[in-house]
Structure 1
C-alpha cells in the first residue's frame, strides 16, 4: 500500500513501484537464512545497483519501507544517513498495520 510518493512520478507509477519494493523486501527476507546463521534477525535494507544508479530500500517502521533512487556516483553513506533521518522525522506515520486478509487462503 502506497503511503506517499514524490511529485516527480504519477500515482499509477508510484503504486507499481510500491508493489515492486514490497516484493523486493519480501524476497530479501526469504533469502536471509543463506547468510549462514539460523536467525539472521530483522531485515534492515536492500540495495539494488544498476549501471546508471541505485535503488535504496530501507525499513521505515512496522510493515513500512522507504525507497529512493540515486545516481551511480552517489555518496552511499550520505544517502543512507539522509534516508534514516527521513524515517525518524516521519516516525509513526510510516507504520502500517498488517492487512486484514494477510496469510488467508483464497
Structure 2
C-alpha cells in the first residue's frame, strides 16, 4: 500500500505526510513521516473521527458517519477521510496545497483501494 500513498503525495504538490489508520488510532501504513510522527497523527485522528461522528449524528437524514474533515491551521491543512469500514486516510499538507486537488486525489485513492483499507474490529485486543 505504501506505493499508493507515495503516489498520492507525489501527485499533489505541498503534501507532507500520508497515513492510513484504523478507527482505534493505530497506524496501518504511512508515507512521508517517521514512525513516531505517523503514530501521533493516527492517535489524534481517532479522537477527531469520534468527535466528527458525534456531530454527524445530529443530522437527521444522514447515517451518522464522518466522511471528510478538513482543518486549516497556520502553515497548512489537515485532511481526514473515511476509507473503508474502520479505516481512515489522513493527510498533512503545507499551506500552498490545492485543496480541491487533494480532496479529489484522496477520493480517488479511497475508491481504488477502499476495500483493502478496511480494518476489522478487534476482539479482546487481538487483530483477527
TM-score by length of 1: 0.81
**Equivalent residue number for residue 18 of structure 1:** 42
User: How large is the Cα RMSD of the aligned pairs?
Assistant: 1.8
Gaps spanning 5+ residues in structure 1: where?
none
The structure with the larger Rg is 1
- 1:97, 1:4 → 2: CA distance? 15
Gaps spanning 5+ residues in structure 2: where?
1-25
**Counterpart pick for 1:52 among 57, 75, 84:** 75
**Equivalent residue number for residue 78 of structure 1:** 101
Residues 25-36 of structure 1: pairs in structure 2 closer than 5 A = 25-34=49-58
State the aligned residue count.
99
- Return the structure number with greater strand share: 2
- 1:49, 1:101 → 2: CA distance? 37
